[in-house]
Chains A and B, each alone.
Chain A
C-alpha cells in the first residue's frame, strides 16, 4: 500500500481535535458496549422466558394427549431456544406422534450426529423406522440395537430392559422369530428374579415366541415367589399345554380362580386339557380296567369321526391319498374290533397300544381329509401328537 502519511504540517489544534475524537470514540465504544450488553441480556432473558413458557405448554399438551397442540407449542419454543437439544428432541417426538415422520427423523438425525450414543434418540429413530413397514426393518434393528447398547442418563439398566422389551414385541409383530428368540432370551436372562412384573413380561414374550419350555420354566420361577399368581398360573398352564404336559396344565388351571380361568382362551385350553386327561389311557397309575376302558372309548370316538369324515364325500386333491388312507385305517380298525373290544383290552393289556395307534392313525387321516378336529377328537389327536411328536 502506498503510504499516505499524515501531513506533517498538521497544526497542534488539528492534532488535539483528532485526539479528542479518538477519545470520544473510545468512550462511545465503551458506552455502546455497556448498552448492547444490557440490551442483549434483556433479549436473551426474554427469549429464555418465552422458550420456557412455550415448552412448558407443549409438555402439558403432550401429556394430555394433544400432540398437535404440543407440536405447535414446541415450534414456538424452538423459535426462542433454537439450540435447545432437549426441546428439539421433544419436538421430534411430537412430530413423530403426529405422523410427521420425515421431519421427526430429520431432527433426530441431527441430534444423533451430536450425540451418536444417545439411547433416547436412537429409540425414537427406531420407533419411526418400526412404523415404516418391513422395508425399514434393517434400519429399525440398527436403531433398536443402538438404543439398547446406547447411553441412558437415568436408570440405564431399566431403560435398556424396556427398550429390549419393545424391540422383542416389534420383532414378534414382524414375524422375525429367530431374532426375537435371541432377544427374548436375553431379556429373560437380564430380568432380575425379584422383578415380578418383568418376569411376567419375559414369560409372556416367551409364550408369544412359542418358546414353551423356557416359558414354563419362567412361570414356574414366578410361582415359587407367588404360588397363586394368576398370570403366572395362566402362563404356566399355556406353556405346559403346548408342551403336551396336559396333567400339569390341568393342575395349574385348577389352581386359578374361576373368573380368570373362564376367559375364552383359558377356558378352551381347560376344556381340551380335561378331555385329554380324561381320555388319555397313558396317564400314570391308571388301573388296567380304566386304561382298557379309555382305549376302547377312544377307538369308538375315532371311528365315528372317520365314518363321518368319509361320508362327507369330500373329493381329495389330486395326488392326495388321504381319503384312501382314512378308509384303510378305518377298515383295519373295524377288522380288529373284536380284538380291541373293552373286554379283550382288559384281558390283554398289551393290545392297548395297537388300539391306540389305530386311533391316532384314524385321527391323523381324518385331519388330513376333513381339517382340524373338535372336542374329544381334538384331545385324541393331541394325545397322539404328544406320543409321537416333540416339543421345544
Chain B
C-alpha cells in the first residue's frame, strides 16, 4: 500500500483515535512491506549495490565513533597538552597495555593483528566470515591502545571494522555464499576510506592488497561503499584533508634527482624495518605464554620513556606529520623521530597490541623525507622544494617500500594532503623505494605475517606481477598447418597435404570462419575428383573452429581448444590471416615449463 492510500483513508478514522493509530501502523507496515519487497525483488547484484551504500554509511559512522573514542581516551588519560606531564606519559601506556593484554587474551581473542590480514583471511579462508565481536573488540582495544599512546594507527582496524560490519550484514540478509565472500572487501574499502578520508586510495588498496583483481562485479560496490563512507565521515568530521601542505613547485627537472635519493633512502629504511619485524616476530611469538600478559605493557613502558622527551612518537601522530610538513623540526630531530618511531611502532606491533601500520608508516616516511630534504637543501641550496615537500614525498616512499602497494601509496599521499602538485616526485621516489624493497625482501609484509601465523594467503603482489602466459608462447608457425581455399579441389589439396605429414588442414571459409578437415577424408574425396574443399567442410557436422589471437592467455586458449585437435591463431587486424596454430599438447607443455618446479 502506498503513502497516497494511507492519507486517503485517514479521514474515515477520525472518530476513533485508537483505531486510527492502529490503522496507521498497519498502513505503515504495509508500506514498509511493499518497499522491502521491492528491495528483495532486485537481482542479487543490484541488492549488493544497495547494501554497499548501507555498509558505507555504517562503516563511516563506526569510523567516526572510533576516531572520537581514540581522542577521548587520549584526552582522559594523557590530557590536552602536546607535552603531558612525565608521570602520565610513563604510566598511561603501561596501564593501557595491561588492559589491552587482558582484553585480547580473555574477551576478544579475534581482535589480534592489524586487520588487513584478518580481512584477507576472511575472504580466502572463511568465505567472508568475520565474527562481529572481533570488530567490537578491535574498536574497544584499539581505541584504548592507540589512545593511551601505543605507536599504532587506526586505519587497518577501521578496515577490519568495516569488513566485519559488511560480513555481518551480508550473513544476516542471507546473501549467497559468493556474495558474502565478496562483501567483506566492500566493507574493508569503506572502513579504510572513512579512516583516511581517502576514497580513491582505499579502493585501490583493497584491490591491490585484498582481492587482487579489478573485477567489475565487486568494483562498483567497493566504490559505492567507499564514497558513502567518506560522505558520512565528512558530514560529521568535516571535509578537510588530513594534512595541510605548503604549496611548492619544481623549478628544474634535475631536482627530481633529489627525490630519487629520498626514494633510495626510504626504500632502504623501509626494508630494514620490514626485515626487523620479519626476524623479531617469530622469536617473540615463541616466548612463554605468560609473557603475553606483559608484552603490551612493556612496549607501553618503553614508549612512555621515549615520550618523556619526545611525546610526538606516541599514538598515530597525525599532528606531528602536519608539523613536519610545515618544516617545524630540524633535520636532527626528524632523524631521531623517524628512528624512534620505527622502534616504537615495531615494539607496539610485536607486543600483540591490535592496531594499524598505516599511520606510523606515514609518520616515519614524513620524518625521513623531511630529514633527507633538509640535508639535501643544506648541500644544494638551489633546490626549490621545501622541507615539507620532502616530508610529503617521504610519506609515500615509506608506504610504498613497507606496505608494498605502489599505486595506493601515490594516491594515498595525494588524497591525505589534498595536493596534486607533488605527483612527479612522489611517483619517482615511491617506485624506487618499492623496487628496492621488493628486490631485497621477496615476501611482502602482509604475506609474511600470514605465514608466520600459520596460514597461506594468496600473494596479491605475486599475482599482480605475474606475467600471464599467452598464446604466442605456445603457438606453432604457419608452416606447421595447411591452409586451403574454399574453391580448391580436393584432389589438388590432397597433393599438397602429402608434403606436410601431421599438419592440421584449415579451410578459410570467410574472414574469421575457419574449418578443419581430416586428412583421410580429403584423400577419399580426391578419389572422386570433383568436390571442392568448401563443400567438404560444410558437410562436416562440427561447426566452425574457434579462433585465437596471439596475445590471448593460455587459459583462454585451453577453453577454446576443447576437443579440437588444433585451433588457428589469426591476426586481430585480418581475421583471414593465419598467424599460427595451437594444439592442446602445446598449451600443456607451456604450462609445465612455466611452473616453478
Contacts and interface: CB of A to CB of B under 8 A. Distances in A.
B244 interface: yes
A29 B44 contact: no
A64 interface: no
Nearest to B67: A43
A3 B43 contact: yes
B328 interface: yes
B473 interface: no
Contact of B327 (A15, A102, A113): A102
B72 interface: yes
Contact of A4 (B65, B176, B244): B176
By secondary structure, the A interface counts as helix
Contact of B45 (A3, A23, A110): A3
Contacts of B71: 43
Interface in B105-149: none
Contacts of B32: 19, 23
- Which 4 residue pairs are nearest across A and B when measured between Cβ atoms? A1-B217, A40-B236, A106-B326, A106-B327
B169 interface: yes
A14 B40 CA distance: 12
B80 A80 contact: yes
B80 A110 contact: no
A110 B54 CA distance: 38
Interface in B36-82: 36-37, 39-40, 43-45, 47, 54, 57-58, 61-62, 64-65, 68, 71-72, 75, 80-82
B387 A102 contact: yes
A76 B80 contact: yes
A377 B81 CA distance: 70
Contacts of A43: 68, 71-72
By secondary structure, the B interface counts as helix
24 contacts: A3-B44, A4-B176, A6-B40, A6-B47, A14-B174, A17-B174, A18-B36, A18-B40, A19-B37, A22-B40, A23-B36, A25-B172, A29-B57, A32-B58, A33-B61, A39-B68, A40-B236, A50-B80, A54-B80, A102-B327, A103-B328, A110-B244, A110-B326, A113-B246
Contacts of A107: 246, 326
A180 B386 CA distance: 32
A102 B36 CA distance: 61
A75 interface: yes
Interface string B327-367: 11000000000000000000000000000000000000000
Interface in B465-499: none
Given A32-B58, A35-B65, 16 more contacts: A5-B44, A19-B32, A21-B173, A23-B32, A29-B61, A36-B64, A39-B64, A39-B68, A43-B72, A79-B319, A80-B80, A83-B238, A100-B328, A106-B328, A109-B247, A113-B246
Interface of A: 1-6, 14-15, 17-19, 21-23, 25, 29, 32-33, 35-37, 39-40, 43, 46, 50, 54, 72, 75-76, 78-80, 82-83, 95, 100, 102-103, 105-107, 109-110, 113
Contacts of B37: 19
A346 to B, nearest CB: 74
A54 B82 CA distance: 11
B393 to A, nearest CB: 15
B64 A79 contact: no
A82 B71 CA distance: 15
B179 A4 contact: yes
B83 interface: yes
Which of A19, A25, A106: most chain B Cβ within 10 A? A106
Contacts of A106: 246, 326-328, 386-388
B391 to A, nearest CB: 10
A5 B43 contact: yes
A284 to B, nearest CB: 63
A9 to B, nearest CB: 13
A110 B245 contact: yes
A2 B216 CA distance: 11
Contacts, number: 115
Contact of B39 (A3, A22, A46): A22
A22 B323 CA distance: 45
A36 B328 contact: no
A76 B217 CA distance: 47
A37 B45 contact: no
B68 A19 contact: no
Contacts of B81: 76
A110 B240 CA distance: 15
A319 B237 CA distance: 83
B75 to A, nearest CB: 7
Contact of A18 (B174, B246, B322, B323): B174
Contacts of A102: 327, 387
B326 A103 contact: yes
Interface string B190-217: 0000000000000000000000000011
B77 to A, nearest CB: 15
Which of B238, B327, B386: most chain A Cβ within 10 A? B327
Contacts of B80: 50, 54, 76, 79-80
A72 B174 CA distance: 55
Contacts of A18: 36, 40, 173-174
Contact of A83 (B54, B75, B174, B240): B240
Contacts of B45: 1, 3-4
Contacts of A50: 80
A19 to B, nearest CB: 5
A1 B47 CA distance: 13
Contacts of B387: 102, 106
A248 to B, nearest CB: 53
A79 B32 CA distance: 46
A54 B33 CA distance: 54
A143 B453 CA distance: 59
A80 B244 CA distance: 14
Contacts of A36: 61, 64-65, 236
Contacts of B597: none
A50 B323 CA distance: 19
A5 B81 CA distance: 56
B58 A21 contact: no
A1 B44 CA distance: 10
Contacts of B388: 106
B178 interface: yes
B247 A110 contact: yes
B246 A15 contact: no
B407 to A, nearest CB: 24
Contacts of B238: 83
Contacts of A100: 328
A47 to B, nearest CB: 8
Contacts of B58: 29, 32
Contacts of A110: 244-247, 326
B235 to A, nearest CB: 9
Contact of B54 (A6, A29, A78, A82): A29
Contact of B82 (A5, A22, A76): A76
Contact of B178 (A4, A6, A39): A4
Contact of B322 (A37, A46, A72, A82): A82
A113 B173 contact: no
Given A39-B68, A113-B247, A25 B169 contact: yes
B250 to A, nearest CB: 16
Contacts of A113: 246-247
A54 B81 CA distance: 9
A22 B36 contact: yes
B36 A37 contact: no
A18 to B, nearest CB: 6
Given A23-B36, A80-B80, A109 B44 contact: no
Nearest to A6: B44
A22 B174 CA distance: 11
Contacts of A29: 54, 57-58, 61
Contacts of A83: 238, 240, 244
A72 B62 CA distance: 33
Contacts of A21: 172-173
A246 B342 CA distance: 77
